[in-house]
């Protein structure tokens, strides 16, 4: 990303027209440099009007993250997380993992206005747009080994769903193991990367990407239907408030998870599962598929599947779940 793009956009936040000359003067650069900085805004999901004689104007205002306000909201809720808001980063998970190697403290959270190479599971891409997504990662250090983290991913999904519901969102569902969906469209993804060993301690980098207000063409890039919070009726999210509320909910859920694991969250999770008691097809890492009816999730967050030949427990791994397609069930 052009390093001047964000400083230029910040100058235009008031929504008025700004001449190239005035922007150039404010930043101590040439008009050509300003033009260059504004050229690739489409890639960030930002539309800029350019009117000869008047200058540049944002098509829509940008809701920037207000770090001081988020920190205040966390402090009021007695949530001792440390937040850093970065302008631009390849991936908040990658950056936080690098910090873990340098001894980053428990509770460090990195949020980014722009994420240029966001990642999902198995190296799949995660796309975010400036001002219209939330992309952040939280470091949680557990005393125990990797085995005690079973169910962490669904627990995080539940924490996010609860926080959104507390803000008035209705109809949000969970898709095993780690997605939030609205009307079958993907609203948020979770990527957890763990460092440590079997006996512990372990460091979990919990990355979350959430669509707040994303352009329609993002679904084309994502290659699957996509939902935004703004598509929920009557829901007008404020990104900073939302990030604070998500962090508060995550903190409270993780504190409990660290002691009790996923078991106490299981029923609440199932109640929100988009495929509870439905027929699904599960694709394993080696490409094999398994079909069956979902009858729940286990105490470790595993999927409980009734295959007709018996009940199976599937650990999350790189397993991917889709609704079973009628007529293909026995193909």
| Of 99, 119, 175, 186, catalytic | 186
Residues 287-326 vs ligand ATP: string with x where CB under 6 A?
A: ---------------------------------x------
Tracing tokens 């004689």 back to the chain, one arrives at: 53
Distance (Å, rounded) from C-alpha 169 to C-alpha 246?
13
DSSP 103-125: TPPTTEEEEEEEESSEE-GGG-E
The C-alpha angle with vertex 70 and arms to 64 and 75, in degrees rounded to 5, equals: 170
Q: What are 82's strand-pairing partners?
A: 108
User: 10 Å Cβ neighbour count for 87?
Assistant: 16
Q: Which is nearer to ligand ATP, 42 or 201 (CB)?
A: 42
Choices 53-61, 79-87, 125-133, 286-294; region in contact with ligand ATP by CB under 6 A: 125-133
Task: State the catalytic residue, choosing from 121, 175, 239, 272.
Answer: 121
Angle at CA 123, nearest 5°, toward 120 and 124?
55
Would you say 141 or 150 has its CB closer to ligand ATP? 150
Task: Name the minimum Å distance from CB 101 to ligand ATP.
Answer: 23
Measured from the CB atom, is 20 or 132 closer to ligand ATP? 132
Q: Nearest CA to 182 among 162, 156, 161, 158?
A: 161
Residue, CB closest to ligand ATP: 120
156 to 8, 102, 159, 259: CA distances (angstroms)? 36, 25, 5, 15
Site for ligand ATP in 43-82 (CB under 6 A): none
Number of residues counted as binding ligand ATP (CB under 6 A): 18
Q: Taking CB under 6 A as the criterion, which residues in 211-230 touch ligand ATP?
A: 211, 218, 222-224, 226
Closest CB to ligand ATP among 38 and 172? 172
Interface residue with ligand ATP, options 127, 251, 257, 275 (CB under 6 A)? 127
The DSSP code for 262 is S
Residue 303 is classified by DSSP as E
Measuring CA to CA, how many Å separate 30 from each of 2, 21, 113? 15, 8, 25
Question: Contact 51/57 with Cβ under 8 angstroms?
Answer: yes
Per CB under 6 A, the list member of 50, 124, 183, 236 interacting with ligand ATP is 124
Residues 244-273 that bind ligand ATP (CB under 6 A): none
Q: How many whole angstroms separate alpha carbon 298 and alpha carbon 296?
A: 7
One residue of 15, 105, 125, 201 binding ligand ATP per CB under 6 A: 125
* 269: its two tokens: 């999770």
| Residue 121 a catalytic site member | yes
Question: Does residue 189 bind ligand ATP (CB under 6 A)?
Answer: yes
Residues 104-123 that bind ligand ATP (CB under 6 A): 120-121
- Residue 179 interacts with ligand ATP (CB under 6 A)? yes
Q: Give catalytic residue positions.
A: 121, 186, 322
Residue numbers at the binding site for ligand ATP (CB under 6 A): 120-121, 124-127, 178-179, 186, 189, 209, 211, 218, 222-224, 226, 320
């Amino acid at each position: 990303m052009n390093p001047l793009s964000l400083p230029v956009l910040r100058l235009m936040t008031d929504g008025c027209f700004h001449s190239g000359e005035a922007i150039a003067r404010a930043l101590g650069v040439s008009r050509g440099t300003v033009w260059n900085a504004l050229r690739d805004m489409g890639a960030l999901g930002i539309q800029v009007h350019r009117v000869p004689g008047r200058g540049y104007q944002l098509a829509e205002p940008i809701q920037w993250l207000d770090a001081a306000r988020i920190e205040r909201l966390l402090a009021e809720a007695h949530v001792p997380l440390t937040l850093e808001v970065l302008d631009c980063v390849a991936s908040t998970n990658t950056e936080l993992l690098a910090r873990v190697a340098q001894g980053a403290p428990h509770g460090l959270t990195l949020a980014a206005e722009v994420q240029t190479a966001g990642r999902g599971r198995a190296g799949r891409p995660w796309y975010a747009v400036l001002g219209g997504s939330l992309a952040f990662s939280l470091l949680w250090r557990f005393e125990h080994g990797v085995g005690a983290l079973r169910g962490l991913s669904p627990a995080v999904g539940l924490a996010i769903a609860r926080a959104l519901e507390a803000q008035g969102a209705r109809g949000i569902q969970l898709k095993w193991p780690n997605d939030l969906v609205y009307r079958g469209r993907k609203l948020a993804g979770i990527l957890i990367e763990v460092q440590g060993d079997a006996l512990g301690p372990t460091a979990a980098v919990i990355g979350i990407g959430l669509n707040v207000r994303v352009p329609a063409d993002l679904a084309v890039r994502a290659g699957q239907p996509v939902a935004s919070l703004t598509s929920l009726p009557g829901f007008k999210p404020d990104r900073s408030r939302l990030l604070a509320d998500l962090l508060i909910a995550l903190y409270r859920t993780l504190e409990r998870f660290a002691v009790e694991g996923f078991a106490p969250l299981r029923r609440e999770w199932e109640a929100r599962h988009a495929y509870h008691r439905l027929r699904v097809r599960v694709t394993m890492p080696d490409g094999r598929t398994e079909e069956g009816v979902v009858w729940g999730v286990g105490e470790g967050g595993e999927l409980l599947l009734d295959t007709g030949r018996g009940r199976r427990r599937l650990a999350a791994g790189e397993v991917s779940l889709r609704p079973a397609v009628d007529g293909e069930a026995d193909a």
